[in-house]
A and B are shown apart, each in its own frame.
Chain A
């Protein structure tokens, strides 16, 4: 027979845990909303840059730039891993770590020098425990990465790429597709490959206007390419931040629901134990009375 007091104590403990997970869920929801707002504010800039590229392409400009071209010989590569500083978010950090390890392994086989930069405590501990040497670590990116901070990193990569110290940059992060879907993925940001959606929306009337380019379309392109790299890196950081909050929200929601179920079954077991104890006590009393009568 289960001890009702022990059951009650367990139920209390689960209730306390439920309170905590519920609060964490609410916090994650609030943070997610904020992070989401920031991410959508950032799309205004991305959209305009894309339009700009489309206009340049419409002006009959060949879109080419050193940052867009694949180098023939890749001597050194860089992997940037973006994960969270905190746990309690389901598979968010684990997925990124696993993907990063795979990619680092693949690159090490082909390329002599692979440097690994990491943002997020969870990825730092996760990767060091697997004996990956980390060149640079960042822990100051929370749920609100600012462009100025990201730009510092972006500029460093750009400089390294321009001076030939770096031939390839892969970013491992969690892309935010929708609230229900976040995919951990690897994106090669240097060389940039192509500028997204160049030539998209050509039907727009504005695009047929004759623009005056100051100083020249080429010169503008030269500036657009690094900017678009920075913005893409920034977007990776933002996506990662949003995904982390979503993952935490969902994990905590699951935990709260789990606790609810546990409380229910514990209550049931407690009530049953309590009832059976009462019944057995009554039976004992009745048994005693019956014995006295005789």
Chain B
């Protein structure tokens, strides 16, 4: 199935990568390789990937193209891979270089300061912390 769709859809074996946020379609470009941050870690997608629906976590979306590599921070969401086209649906996607370490640090501090005295509140806090940590990590990496 995978090989078939690869040869059918595109001879060059390129991926069509679309990033959609509720406000706009941020990106619609071809890529040779895409790494998406799944809920439990990074997943690399090369041309000819099997059809897949995945849940995203907070982390870095990398898109490798002939011209170089683009990196985005994505805030959860979903990824769909079908016929060499990747759709990333996310609440927020920010170019990694636009992230600010200080803002992320503040967010982490705010998340940690929340009281969590019930399982639900604990879940919410854990989620916020993860989100802030992911931003911080990416922001630090791209600071220079």
Distance in angstroms between the alpha carbons of A210 and B2 in the assembled complex: 11
* Interfacial residues of chain A within 155-213, with CB under 8 A of chain B in the complex: 159, 162-163, 206, 209-213
Residues of B within 8 A of A1 (CB): none
Say whether B91 contacts A230, CB under 8 Å. yes
Distance in angstroms between the alpha carbons of A44 and B26 in the assembled complex: 11
Task: Evaluate whether A220 and B91 lie within 8 angstroms (CB atoms) in the complex, with A38-B23, A163-B121 already known.
Answer: no
Interface status of B124 (Cβ within 8 A of chain A): yes
* Interfacial residues of chain B within 92-144, with CB under 8 A of chain A in the complex: 92, 118, 120-121, 124
Contact with B along A31-60 (1 / 0, CB 8 A): 000000010011011101100100110000
Taking CB as reference atom, which chain A residue is nearest B123? Answer: A162
Say whether B25 contacts A44, CB under 8 Å. yes
Say whether B54 contacts A163, CB under 8 Å. no
Interface status of B11 (Cβ within 8 A of chain A): no
- B22 CB → nearest A CB, Å: 5
Interface status of A224 (Cβ within 8 A of chain B): yes
Interface status of B20 (Cβ within 8 A of chain A): yes
Count how many chain B residues have C-beta atoms less than 8 Å from C-beta atoms of the other chain. Answer: 30
Interface status of A241 (Cβ within 8 A of chain B): no
Count how many chain A residues have C-beta atoms less than 8 Å from C-beta atoms of the other chain. Answer: 35
One of A41, A56, A163, A224 near B25 (C-beta < 8 A): A41
- B117 CB → nearest A CB, Å: 10
Say whether A223 contacts B55, CB under 8 Å. yes
Residues of B within 8 A of A209 (CB): 51, 82
Residues of A within 8 A of B76 (CB): 223
Distance in angstroms between the alpha carbons of A55 and B80 in the assembled complex: 11
Task: Evaluate whether A211 and B52 lie within 8 angstroms (CB atoms) in the complex, with A41-B25, A163-B118 already known.
Answer: yes
Interface status of B61 (Cβ within 8 A of chain A): no
Between A and B, 18 residue pairs with Cβ closer than 8 Å are A41-B24, A41-B25, A42-B24, A44-B20, A45-B21, A52-B89, A55-B53, A146-B23, A147-B92, A162-B124, A163-B121, A206-B82, A214-B54, A224-B78, A227-B78, A230-B22, A230-B91, A231-B22
Chain B residues within CB distance 8 Å of chain A: 20-25, 38-40, 43, 50-55, 76-78, 80, 82-83, 87, 89, 91-92, 118, 120-121, 124
